[in-house]
Amino acid sequence: MEVVLVAVLPAVILTWGTTAWGTGPALALALALPVIHAVWSRAASVAPSPFLPFVVLGALATASVGWFALSPVWFAAKEALLPVGIGLIFAVSDAFGRPLIVPLFERLVELGPIRPGLTVDQNAKIDGALRTLGRMWGGAIALSGVASGVLALAIVHSEAGTEAFNLELGRHTAWSWGVITLPTTLVTMFLLLRTVRRVEAVVGRPLT
Amino acid sequence: MAARILLVDDETDLIEVLADALAARLPGFVIQRASSVADAEAAVASLDASGTELALVVSDHRLGDGDGLKFIASLRARHPGLPAILYTGQAGPEVVAAASAAGVRLLWKPIRLATWIAEVRAALEA
Protein backbone atom coordinates (compact mmCIF):
# COMPACT_ATOMS: atom_id res chain seq x y z
CA MET A 1 0.00 0.00 0.00
CA GLU A 2 2.78 2.40 1.01
CA VAL A 3 4.79 1.62 -2.13
CA VAL A 4 1.74 2.21 -4.32
CA LEU A 5 0.79 5.52 -2.71
CA VAL A 6 4.28 6.94 -2.22
CA ALA A 7 6.11 5.73 -5.33
CA VAL A 8 4.11 3.92 -8.00
CA LEU A 9 1.01 6.13 -8.29
CA PRO A 10 2.89 9.47 -8.15
CA ALA A 11 5.26 8.23 -10.84
CA VAL A 12 2.36 7.06 -13.05
CA ILE A 13 0.40 10.28 -12.49
CA LEU A 14 3.40 12.47 -13.29
CA THR A 15 4.27 10.43 -16.38
CA TRP A 16 0.79 9.94 -17.89
CA GLY A 17 -1.41 12.42 -16.05
CA THR A 18 0.55 15.45 -17.21
CA THR A 19 -0.57 14.95 -20.81
CA ALA A 20 -4.12 14.03 -19.87
CA TRP A 21 -4.91 16.61 -17.16
CA GLY A 22 -2.22 19.26 -17.50
CA THR A 23 0.92 20.02 -15.51
CA GLY A 24 -0.59 21.65 -12.40
CA PRO A 25 -3.30 19.08 -11.56
CA ALA A 26 -0.96 16.15 -12.21
CA LEU A 27 1.72 17.65 -9.95
CA ALA A 28 -0.80 18.47 -7.21
CA LEU A 29 -2.33 14.98 -7.27
CA ALA A 30 1.03 13.20 -7.37
CA LEU A 31 2.32 15.20 -4.40
CA ALA A 32 -0.92 14.84 -2.46
CA LEU A 33 -0.63 11.04 -2.38
CA PRO A 34 2.41 10.79 -0.04
CA VAL A 35 0.78 13.39 2.21
CA ILE A 36 -2.51 11.46 2.24
CA HIS A 37 -0.55 8.30 3.06
CA ALA A 38 1.30 10.03 5.92
CA VAL A 39 -1.90 11.48 7.39
CA TRP A 40 -3.71 8.15 6.98
CA SER A 41 -0.80 6.37 8.74
CA ARG A 42 -1.03 8.86 11.57
CA ALA A 43 -4.79 8.38 11.91
CA ALA A 44 -4.48 4.60 11.82
CA SER A 45 -1.66 4.31 14.33
CA VAL A 46 -1.80 5.03 18.04
CA ALA A 47 1.19 7.35 18.10
CA PRO A 48 1.83 9.96 15.40
CA SER A 49 4.71 9.33 13.03
CA PRO A 50 7.63 11.60 13.84
CA PHE A 51 8.45 11.74 10.14
CA LEU A 52 5.04 13.11 9.13
CA PRO A 53 6.15 16.78 9.17
CA PHE A 54 9.05 15.88 6.87
CA VAL A 55 6.75 14.12 4.38
CA VAL A 56 4.41 17.12 4.28
CA LEU A 57 7.33 19.57 4.11
CA GLY A 58 8.92 17.55 1.28
CA ALA A 59 5.70 17.49 -0.76
CA LEU A 60 5.17 21.23 -0.22
CA ALA A 61 8.77 21.96 -1.22
CA THR A 62 8.42 19.92 -4.42
CA ALA A 63 5.09 21.62 -5.19
CA SER A 64 6.74 25.01 -4.65
CA VAL A 65 9.49 24.17 -7.12
CA GLY A 66 6.83 23.23 -9.70
CA TRP A 67 4.34 26.02 -9.13
CA PHE A 68 6.87 28.83 -8.77
CA ALA A 69 8.86 27.48 -11.73
CA LEU A 70 12.11 27.42 -9.78
CA SER A 71 15.33 25.97 -11.14
CA PRO A 72 15.38 22.12 -11.03
CA VAL A 73 18.53 22.47 -8.93
CA TRP A 74 16.18 23.50 -6.08
CA PHE A 75 14.38 20.21 -6.45
CA ALA A 76 17.70 18.35 -6.17
CA ALA A 77 18.61 20.47 -3.13
CA LYS A 78 15.27 19.69 -1.50
CA GLU A 79 15.72 15.97 -2.19
CA ALA A 80 19.12 16.06 -0.47
CA LEU A 81 18.46 18.52 2.35
CA LEU A 82 15.43 16.94 4.02
CA PRO A 83 17.00 13.51 4.66
CA VAL A 84 20.36 15.11 5.51
CA GLY A 85 18.43 17.30 7.98
CA ILE A 86 16.85 14.21 9.55
CA GLY A 87 20.31 12.61 9.79
CA LEU A 88 21.61 15.77 11.48
CA ILE A 89 18.73 15.73 13.98
CA PHE A 90 19.75 12.17 14.89
CA ALA A 91 23.39 13.26 15.32
CA VAL A 92 22.61 16.42 17.31
CA SER A 93 20.17 14.65 19.64
CA ASP A 94 22.84 12.00 20.26
CA ALA A 95 25.52 14.63 20.92
CA PHE A 96 23.25 16.33 23.47
CA GLY A 97 22.66 13.06 25.33
CA ARG A 98 19.01 12.72 24.30
CA PRO A 99 19.20 10.36 21.31
CA LEU A 100 16.07 10.59 19.19
CA ILE A 101 16.45 6.90 18.41
CA VAL A 102 15.43 5.89 21.96
CA PRO A 103 11.80 7.10 21.79
CA LEU A 104 11.60 5.97 18.15
CA PHE A 105 12.78 2.46 19.00
CA GLU A 106 10.48 2.32 22.01
CA ARG A 107 7.53 2.96 19.66
CA LEU A 108 8.33 -0.47 18.23
CA VAL A 109 9.50 -2.27 21.35
CA GLU A 110 8.26 -1.13 24.73
CA LEU A 111 11.32 -1.21 26.97
CA GLY A 112 9.90 0.86 29.84
CA PRO A 113 8.45 -2.05 31.84
CA ILE A 114 11.57 -4.19 31.22
CA ARG A 115 14.23 -1.69 32.26
CA PRO A 116 13.67 -1.57 36.06
CA GLY A 117 14.16 -5.34 36.27
CA LEU A 118 17.52 -5.14 34.52
CA THR A 119 20.79 -4.12 36.09
CA VAL A 120 22.30 -0.71 35.47
CA ASP A 121 24.97 -2.35 33.30
CA GLN A 122 22.32 -4.09 31.18
CA ASN A 123 20.48 -0.80 30.75
CA ALA A 124 23.73 0.87 29.69
CA LYS A 125 24.33 -1.89 27.11
CA ILE A 126 20.82 -1.41 25.70
CA ASP A 127 21.38 2.35 25.49
CA GLY A 128 24.69 1.68 23.72
CA ALA A 129 22.97 -0.60 21.18
CA LEU A 130 20.27 2.02 20.56
CA ARG A 131 22.85 4.76 20.09
CA THR A 132 24.71 2.63 17.54
CA LEU A 133 21.39 2.07 15.75
CA GLY A 134 20.68 5.82 15.79
CA ARG A 135 24.07 6.70 14.34
CA MET A 136 23.87 4.09 11.59
CA TRP A 137 20.22 4.79 10.74
CA GLY A 138 20.76 8.55 10.75
CA GLY A 139 23.80 8.04 8.51
CA ALA A 140 21.79 5.84 6.13
CA ILE A 141 19.01 8.43 5.91
CA ALA A 142 21.50 11.24 5.27
CA LEU A 143 23.28 9.15 2.64
CA SER A 144 19.95 8.39 0.93
CA GLY A 145 19.36 12.14 0.75
CA VAL A 146 22.68 12.78 -0.92
CA ALA A 147 21.97 9.92 -3.38
CA SER A 148 18.51 11.30 -4.10
CA GLY A 149 19.95 14.76 -4.75
CA VAL A 150 22.52 13.31 -7.15
CA LEU A 151 19.79 11.30 -8.89
CA ALA A 152 17.66 14.43 -9.21
CA LEU A 153 20.57 16.33 -10.77
CA ALA A 154 21.05 13.45 -13.22
CA ILE A 155 17.36 13.09 -14.19
CA VAL A 156 15.54 16.41 -13.65
CA HIS A 157 16.83 19.09 -16.05
CA SER A 158 13.71 20.73 -17.47
CA GLU A 159 12.24 23.99 -16.30
CA ALA A 160 9.90 23.51 -13.36
CA GLY A 161 6.19 23.77 -14.10
CA THR A 162 6.52 22.31 -17.58
CA GLU A 163 5.25 18.98 -18.86
CA ALA A 164 8.84 17.78 -19.30
CA PHE A 165 9.59 18.63 -15.66
CA ASN A 166 6.66 16.52 -14.49
CA LEU A 167 7.75 13.62 -16.67
CA GLU A 168 11.27 13.82 -15.26
CA LEU A 169 9.85 14.07 -11.75
CA GLY A 170 7.93 10.85 -12.42
CA ARG A 171 11.08 9.13 -13.65
CA HIS A 172 12.96 10.38 -10.60
CA THR A 173 10.25 9.06 -8.24
CA ALA A 174 10.30 5.64 -9.90
CA TRP A 175 14.09 5.41 -9.96
CA SER A 176 14.59 6.72 -6.45
CA TRP A 177 12.16 4.14 -5.09
CA GLY A 178 14.18 1.35 -6.68
CA VAL A 179 17.71 2.52 -6.06
CA ILE A 180 17.30 4.59 -2.86
CA THR A 181 14.07 4.02 -0.93
CA LEU A 182 14.04 0.24 -1.20
CA PRO A 183 17.74 -0.24 -0.24
CA THR A 184 17.36 2.30 2.60
CA THR A 185 14.28 0.44 3.84
CA LEU A 186 16.16 -2.87 3.71
CA VAL A 187 19.12 -1.34 5.60
CA THR A 188 16.70 0.08 8.18
CA MET A 189 15.03 -3.30 8.66
CA PHE A 190 18.42 -4.99 8.99
CA LEU A 191 19.58 -2.43 11.57
CA LEU A 192 16.34 -2.69 13.56
CA LEU A 193 16.44 -6.50 13.58
CA ARG A 194 20.10 -6.49 14.59
CA THR A 195 19.33 -4.10 17.45
CA VAL A 196 16.36 -6.18 18.61
CA ARG A 197 18.65 -9.25 18.64
CA ARG A 198 21.26 -7.31 20.66
CA VAL A 199 18.68 -6.10 23.16
CA GLU A 200 17.30 -9.64 23.44
CA ALA A 201 20.83 -10.90 24.15
CA VAL A 202 21.19 -8.34 26.95
CA VAL A 203 17.73 -9.05 28.39
CA GLY A 204 18.21 -12.80 28.05
CA ARG A 205 14.82 -13.50 26.51
CA PRO A 206 12.85 -12.66 23.36
CA LEU A 207 11.17 -9.28 23.20
CA THR A 208 7.45 -9.55 22.58
CA MET B 1 16.80 26.14 43.92
CA ALA B 2 16.09 22.40 43.61
CA ALA B 3 18.22 20.14 45.81
CA ARG B 4 20.92 18.07 44.12
CA ILE B 5 21.68 14.37 44.02
CA LEU B 6 25.36 13.88 43.22
CA LEU B 7 26.27 10.75 41.21
CA VAL B 8 29.96 9.87 41.05
CA ASP B 9 31.21 7.15 38.70
CA ASP B 10 34.00 7.00 36.14
CA GLU B 11 31.86 4.77 33.89
CA THR B 12 29.89 7.46 32.10
CA ASP B 13 27.47 5.00 30.43
CA LEU B 14 26.33 3.74 33.82
CA ILE B 15 26.01 7.19 35.29
CA GLU B 16 23.83 8.28 32.36
CA VAL B 17 21.46 5.35 32.95
CA LEU B 18 21.22 6.16 36.64
CA ALA B 19 20.85 9.89 36.08
CA ASP B 20 18.09 9.40 33.48
CA ALA B 21 16.21 6.94 35.69
CA LEU B 22 16.43 9.21 38.74
CA ALA B 23 15.54 12.36 36.78
CA ALA B 24 12.41 10.62 35.45
CA ARG B 25 11.28 9.40 38.88
CA LEU B 26 12.42 12.22 41.17
CA PRO B 27 11.40 15.41 39.40
CA GLY B 28 11.97 17.50 42.54
CA PHE B 29 15.73 16.93 42.38
CA VAL B 30 18.45 17.93 39.98
CA ILE B 31 20.87 15.12 39.19
CA GLN B 32 24.49 16.22 39.16
CA ARG B 33 27.01 13.93 37.45
CA ALA B 34 30.72 13.64 38.26
CA SER B 35 33.15 11.24 36.60
CA SER B 36 35.94 11.46 39.19
CA VAL B 37 36.67 12.52 42.75
CA ALA B 38 38.13 15.77 41.40
CA ASP B 39 34.95 16.44 39.38
CA ALA B 40 32.83 15.65 42.41
CA GLU B 41 34.86 17.95 44.66
CA ALA B 42 34.49 20.76 42.12
CA ALA B 43 30.73 20.13 41.86
CA VAL B 44 30.32 20.23 45.64
CA ALA B 45 32.40 23.42 45.89
CA SER B 46 30.16 25.02 43.27
CA LEU B 47 26.99 23.91 45.09
CA ASP B 48 28.33 25.19 48.41
CA ALA B 49 29.24 28.53 46.84
CA SER B 50 25.75 28.94 45.41
CA GLY B 51 24.05 27.79 48.62
CA THR B 52 22.36 24.86 46.80
CA GLU B 53 21.32 21.95 48.99
CA LEU B 54 23.04 18.63 48.42
CA ALA B 55 20.44 16.01 49.34
CA LEU B 56 22.31 12.78 48.59
CA VAL B 57 25.61 11.49 47.27
CA VAL B 58 25.80 8.19 45.37
CA SER B 59 29.27 6.99 44.48
CA ASP B 60 31.13 4.05 43.06
CA HIS B 61 33.84 2.81 45.41
CA ARG B 62 36.64 2.47 42.88
CA LEU B 63 37.14 5.68 40.95
CA GLY B 64 39.91 6.52 38.52
CA ASP B 65 41.47 9.14 40.76
CA GLY B 66 40.47 7.97 44.20
CA ASP B 67 38.29 6.13 46.62
CA GLY B 68 34.53 6.69 46.81
CA LEU B 69 34.32 5.94 50.52
CA LYS B 70 37.10 8.41 51.38
CA PHE B 71 35.39 11.04 49.22
CA ILE B 72 32.11 10.50 51.07
CA ALA B 73 33.94 10.71 54.42
CA SER B 74 35.60 14.00 53.45
CA LEU B 75 32.29 15.34 52.18
CA ARG B 76 30.53 14.41 55.40
CA ALA B 77 33.13 16.36 57.38
CA ARG B 78 31.69 19.44 55.66
CA HIS B 79 28.09 18.19 55.37
CA PRO B 80 27.37 16.23 58.56
CA GLY B 81 24.53 13.73 58.23
CA LEU B 82 24.52 13.86 54.42
CA PRO B 83 22.83 10.65 53.18
CA ALA B 84 25.22 8.57 51.11
CA ILE B 85 25.17 5.38 49.07
CA LEU B 86 28.34 3.57 48.07
CA TYR B 87 28.31 0.78 45.52
CA THR B 88 30.94 -1.66 44.45
CA GLY B 89 31.45 -4.90 42.58
CA GLN B 90 34.32 -6.01 44.74
CA ALA B 91 35.57 -4.84 48.12
CA GLY B 92 37.32 -6.33 51.12
CA PRO B 93 35.88 -6.67 54.62
CA GLU B 94 37.68 -3.47 55.67
CA VAL B 95 35.57 -1.47 53.22
CA VAL B 96 32.38 -3.13 54.46
CA ALA B 97 33.37 -2.35 58.04
CA ALA B 98 34.34 1.25 57.25
CA ALA B 99 31.10 1.88 55.35
CA SER B 100 29.07 0.38 58.16
CA ALA B 101 30.93 2.42 60.79
CA ALA B 102 30.32 5.60 58.80
CA GLY B 103 26.62 4.78 58.31
CA VAL B 104 27.03 4.66 54.53
CA ARG B 105 24.65 2.30 52.69
CA LEU B 106 26.73 -0.22 50.74
CA LEU B 107 25.29 -1.86 47.62
CA TRP B 108 26.86 -4.71 45.68
CA LYS B 109 26.89 -4.74 41.90
CA PRO B 110 25.20 -5.91 39.77
CA ILE B 111 22.22 -3.90 40.96
CA ARG B 112 18.81 -3.88 39.31
CA LEU B 113 17.61 -0.44 38.28
CA ALA B 114 14.46 -0.83 40.40
CA THR B 115 16.65 -1.55 43.44
CA TRP B 116 18.67 1.57 42.70
CA ILE B 117 15.59 3.74 42.61
CA ALA B 118 14.21 2.19 45.81
CA GLU B 119 17.54 2.67 47.63
CA VAL B 120 17.79 6.30 46.54
CA ARG B 121 14.19 6.99 47.61
CA ALA B 122 14.82 5.32 50.98
CA ALA B 123 18.00 7.35 51.52
CA LEU B 124 16.21 10.59 50.71
CA GLU B 125 13.30 9.78 53.02
CA ALA B 126 15.49 8.60 55.93
Q: Any chain A CB within 8 A of the CB of B31?
A: no
| Contact status of B89 with chain A (Cβ, < 8 Å) | no
- The helix or strand, by DSSP H or E, that contains position A201, with its residue range, turns out to be helix A182-203
ipTM for the assembly: 0.77
> CA-CA distance, B68 to A186, in Å (whole number)?
48
Averaged pLDDT, B90-112 = 91
- Among A97, A115, A121, the residue with its CB nearest the CB of B16 is A97
Write out the DSSP string of A37-86.
HHHHHHHHSSSPPTTHHHHHHHHHHHHHHHHTT--HHHHHHHHHHHHHHH
Residue B107 sits at φ, ψ, to 5 deg, of -115, 145
Residue type at B68 in one-letter notation:
G
On whether residue A36 sits in a domain, the answer given is yes
B32-42: average pLDDT: 96
Q: Tens of pLDDT along A28-55?
A: 887 787 778 777 776 776 455 566 667 6
| In chain A, % of residues over pLDDT 70 | 85
Any B CB within 8 A of A206 CB: no
Q: Which of B16, B112, B117 sits opposite A118 (nearest CB)?
A: B112
| A152 in Cβ contact with A158 (< 8 Å) | no
∠ CA A50-A51-A55, nearest 5°, is 145
**Number of structural domains found in chain A:** 1
Multiple choice CATH, B4-125, 3.30.365.10, 3.40.50.2300, 3.40.50.12780, 3.40.50.740: 3.40.50.2300
* Runs of H (alpha helix) within B1-126: 12-25, 37-50, 68-78, 93-102, 113-125
Instruction: Give the per-residue pLDDT at B35.
Output: 95
Q: Which residues of A touch B111 (CB under 8 A)?
A: 119-120
Asked if A208 has any chain B CB less than 8 Å from its own CB, the reply is: no
Residue type, A178: G
| Sequence ranges of the domains in chain B | 4-125
Evaluate whether residue A176 is within a structural domain: yes
Taking CA atoms, what residue in B is nearest to A128?
B13
The pLDDT value recorded for residue A18 is 66
Q: Domain span at residue A66?
A: 2-203
Please answer yes or no on whether B113 and A124 come within 8 Å at the CB atom: no
Cis geometry, peptide bond prior to residue B110 (ω within 30 degrees of 0): yes
* A95 CB within 8 Å of a chain B CB: no
Q: Would you say residue A208 lies in a domain?
A: no
